[in-house]
Structures are given as C-alpha cells and as structure tokens.
Structure 1
C-alpha cells in the first residue's frame, strides 16, 4: 500500500489560493448584498416601482407605494446591521472557543439575552430601547459565562460537544423561565411571543439609532481582536510563547461578541443559526485569517439575513414569515451537516 504525500508547491498553492480570491469574493459579496437590499426595499406584499423608491429616498411618503418603501428602508438597514452583528459574533465565538458548533443560539446566549429583556419588561419597569439593549447585553454575558463554566466541568475541559450540550440544556431551561415570567402578564404576553420568534419587521430609524452605537463598539472590539484570535487558533501555549496575553485576548474578544449578540437580540428577538452558518461559509472563501474572516462574516451575515427577510415576505404573501423561522429552516440542516462532517472536533 503506497501513501501519497502532498508536495510543498501544492501546499503553498492551497494557502495562497484563498488570498488571491479575496478581493474578488469581496466585490461579489458586496454586489450580492446591494442587490438584496434593493430587493428588500422593492419586494414584499406589494411590489413597488423604481420611481416610488427614488421618491421615498427623497423623503416623500404621500403615495401608498412610497409609504411602503419608507417603512422598508429602516427594516432593510436593521436586517443588514443585525445580520452583520450575528455573523461576526458567531465567528468570534468559534475562534475564542475553537468550537465549530459555537453560535449565539446554540450556546444559549440569545436566550439569556431574551430572558434578561423579558425580566426587565415584566419586573424592572424597563420601557426604553436603551434599557432593553443593556439588559440584553448583561443577560448574554451572564449566560455565556455560565455555559462556559458548565461545559468546562469534568475531564477534558470545554470540548465542543460538552459546550454544545451545555448550551442546549441552558437554552431549554431559559426558554421555560421566559414562559414562567410571561404567563402571568397578559399585558406583555402577545408582544413577547411575537418578539421571541425573531424578526426585523418592526425596524425603525429610532430603533436603529439606539442600537447602532452598541453595534459599532462591538464591531470595533471584535476587529481589534482579530490578531489575537489568529494566535489563539495555534493553541494557548504557543500563543503565549509568541507574546500573546491569552486570557486578555479571549476576554476582550468575548466582550465584543457578547455586545453584538445581546444588542441585536434586544432589538429583533433571538435569531438563530446565522452565527453558525456564516463563519463556516466564509472560511471556505477567504481562509481562516480572522483579519479577513470577520469583515467577510459581517457582509455575508448581512446578506443572509436580508435574503431571509425577502424570502419570508415573498413566500407568504400577503402575510410574512419572520426571519427567525427562515434562518432556522436553513441553519438546522447545516448544523446537522457540521456535526457529521466535523465529528465535533475543535477548530
């Protein structure tokens, strides 16, 4: 039996090929995102013409079609921002934990943010968008820490399988707590149930203005953590030997990821699987360098969530299907594929 070894030239070509294709993929993803944003503004329960779109961008909302476009513009912008946030958050979580199954939804972080927001609404008197966002960030942070501690117990530390199981169990428990909080409160029950599905239909310029500063901070922290994430991928010992402060790098990147996840969940509700699917797709396109992976995850995540919103409006005319349902239909089979293909090995 003969064994075949790859030549050094072949290995070098495999490393270089993603680099050569990065500018092309960047232009392609940007073009797709722009097309999807146009479709999001023009397509829905009622299709509108180009003239109505131009008039709506000019500030006119007199006609029915122009008013429809005026409502779709902030909805589209919110889908872009939240999709980008969830894509980057998932990429950072996978980099920090070296876990191919890491995702804000799978690890229960989304549900922790949801529980904090619901408790704030029901018992703490929160009534402002900023208050909901802070509650979501705190809930996401506490849940992320809890899941990591639980997944680290026992022999072998925090393996991908243990973290996924801890996240699933925590998410189920937190979902029950949300129901327990909401059931006695008929005054908020309908709104919470609708919000828990996860959607961007309620997007307004006001909600965007409230969440945008938090998302900007989260994006900046995550992008500044890209070099540290590259070193963490080599292993803690080697990263420390190269001069990286492993604990600080891991905590800093985690903070950025939690801010993105918590703020997004507070505005749109829990939207799952975007943070799982997008980083894996982007690694195939641009490689594992987080300096490229994070920006591409932002653009591709924005494109995915915008496309999910368009599909949800088209397939259920004149009604709509929230993006949380559409992303679940796409992400659940992908999750099964990753489990079978990766055999839940670490990244």
Structure 2
C-alpha cells in the first residue's frame, strides 16, 4: 500500500505538479489530454523503472551480504559496476555504439563476464567456498577494471561523456522499452534467488553444518552469483550505478523479517523500490533543476554506512 502511494506521488511530482485525483483520472481515462500524456507517457514508465530497478538492486544486495557474510556488502563489491562501466567505454569508444539502447546490452554482458572472472579467481579449487577470497577478488578485479575504464575513457572523450552520464545513476531520459527488458531479466533473477533462499539459511550456520544438512555449497554459491549478476547487472545497466540501495534496503528488511533469507528478500522487494522512488522524488524537488537519483541515494546511504560500520554487528551477519 505504501509502495502504491509512493508511485502515485511520483506521478504527481515534476516540472508541472498534478493533484493526485488528476493523476488517477489520467490513469483511468482513455481520453487524450495533456495530463494523460504527462502521466502515462512520461512519468509512469519512470516510476515503473524505479520500482523494478530498486527491486533488482535490493535483492542483489541481500544475496551479496548473505554470500559474503558481510553486512557492508553490496553488488559493487563483486565488481558488477566496474565490469558494466568498462563494457560501456569499450562499446561507445571503440565499437561506435550510440544511445542507451545500444550499450545497455554491453553493460549487462560486462557485468556477467566480470562476475564469472571474480568467481574463477576467488574460488580456484574445486569445492573451495571461502567468502573472504571472493570479496578480495571482487574488490581487486573491480579496481583494475575501473582503472582500465578510466584510462580508455580519457583516450576516447565521447566514451567518457557517456560513462559520466551513466555512472551518476538516473531515471531521467530512459526509454520506456527498457522496462519490458528489465522486467524479464528480473523475473529470471528473482526465481534463481528464491531457489537459493533455504540454502543460504543453512550456509549461514557454517559450511560444515550446511553440508551436513545436505546443502551443495559450491552449487549454491554459483547460483547466488548468477542471480546477483542478473539482478544487479540488468538494474545497473538500466539506471546506472546507483549505490547504497542494495545496502540500505536489506538492513531495513532484516529488522522486520528476522534471519530468514526468503522473508528478507520479500521485504526488501518492497523497501528497495520505495527508497529509489523517494530518492528520485527528492531529486526533483531539492533543486530548481533536477538532482540525479544516484546522488540523492548516496546522501541518504552514506550516514547509514557509517552507522553500520561503527556498529557491533559489522563483523559478520
């Protein structure tokens, strides 16, 4: 109910503010009016995109924290954002790809390949599943890819312009056709994530205990990494590198849902879209122009990150 209310408020806020009753009328009335054009053609796809991207970033954050047993983890720690950024630089600067619809596929493929490399480097031995190795591999490879992407973007200025617009993280100016593609990717990612929920609960007890309960630790980690890549990769490719949503939402959900991963995912699927919608709406009203949602999310998330880092439970989940 709160999420639906926030969607309606999001449809009402903009360069031309509309009353809620006008928004509802524009959604239900088939008559071609200026208000209907504003709400249905411009603001509604943006609101739906915020809901979908928030869901993907939030659930991937739950998976990243559960996989690494680190409450400060988010998808970026596994190199997803760095891989997507490098792929955008290569596609724009060297392959001549133009426009968002052109490089979104490259961003997703970059995230997928990076996650695969992180897994291979972090778990080189059969049966190995040390989360510390995985985190270190993700941070190291992400740093290398970020450096390479920055160097290439300086060589190709047009790639730098595209990368700068993407890395800020924004819901503005996105094509409505992205919504269906993102929804399809998220459906697959959520199904994979849901299939891992019970295994992650047993894995939280320790790897030996998980194996004794019949959990295939290696298979679980591969599936979780795949889900993270699909959810975070598709969401990041669609709206840019919006940070902290995948960090804030799981912690809020954990306070409501307890320790069960499945319930944490369910609550996160509601909380994360609300956070991204609020960030987007605040960005529209904070300044005379518009402040990007990624910037607002950083302002909201940075204090939370400090609180978590200084808390007693920052060592492990």
Of 111-120 and 289-298, the range deviating more from structure 2: 111-120
* Partner in structure 1 of residue 6 of structure 2: 36
The total of aligned residue pairs comes to: 311
Q: Is the partner of 1:159 in helix, strand or coil?
A: helix
Of 203-212 and 87-96, the range deviating more from structure 2: 203-212
Of 231-240 and 333-342, the range deviating more from structure 2: 333-342
Give the deviation of 1:196 after TM superposition. Answer: 1.4
1:287-302 aligned at under 5 Å gives the runs: 287-302=258-273
Pair 1:218 & 2:176 matched = no
* Partner in structure 1 of residue 54 of structure 2: 83
What is the TM-score normalised by the length of structure 2?
0.87
* Partner in structure 2 of residue 325 of structure 1: 295
Contact (CA 8 Å) 1:86, 1:275: kept in 2 or not? yes
Determine the C-alpha separation between the residues in 1 that align with 2:193 and 2:15: 37
CA distance 1:114–1:60, shift in 2 (3 Å): farther
Structure 1, unpaired ranges of 5+: 1-30
* Partner in structure 2 of residue 103 of structure 1: 74
Pair 1:178 & 2:152 matched = no
Q: Is the partner of 1:270 in helix, strand or coil?
A: coil
**Larger-gyration structure (1/2):** 1
Match of 1:73 among 44, 51, 54: 44
CA distance 1:295–1:234, shift in 2 (3 Å): same
Contact (CA 8 Å) 1:232, 1:239: kept in 2 or not? yes
* Partner in structure 2 of residue 338 of structure 1: 308
Q: Deviations over 1:109-131 (max 9, x none)?
A: 22222222332232245558676
Determine the C-alpha separation between the residues in 2 that align with 1:56 and 1:188: 39
CA distance 1:281–1:138, shift in 2 (3 Å): same
* Partner in structure 1 of residue 287 of structure 2: 316
Contact (CA 8 Å) 2:203, 2:210: kept in 1 or not? yes
Contact (CA 8 Å) 2:88, 2:163: kept in 1 or not? no
Q: Deviations over 1:47-105 (max 9, x none)?
A: 01322552255455542x43332301000000000001000000011111111111013
* Partner in structure 1 of residue 132 of structure 2: 159
Give the deviation of 1:342 after TM superposition. Answer: 3.9
Determine the C-alpha separation between the residues in 2 that align with 1:168 and 1:243: 31
Determine the C-alpha separation between the residues in 2 that align with 1:204 and 1:59: 22
Determine the C-alpha separation between the residues in 1 that align with 2:140 and 2:69: 20
Determine the C-alpha separation between the residues in 2 that align with 1:298 and 1:125: 37
* Partner in structure 1 of residue 240 of structure 2: 269
Determine the C-alpha separation between the residues in 1 that align with 2:131 and 2:194: 25
Contact (CA 8 Å) 1:270, 1:324: kept in 2 or not? yes
Determine the C-alpha separation between the residues in 2 that align with 1:256 and 1:204: 25
Determine the C-alpha separation between the residues in 1 that align with 2:100 and 2:192: 22
Structure 2, unpaired ranges of 5+: 125-129
Q: Is the partner of 1:262 in helix, strand or coil?
A: helix
CA distance 1:58–1:132, shift in 2 (3 Å): farther
Q: Deviations over 1:209-242 (max 9, x none)?
A: 2222111111111111111111111111111101
Contact (CA 8 Å) 2:66, 2:204: kept in 1 or not? yes
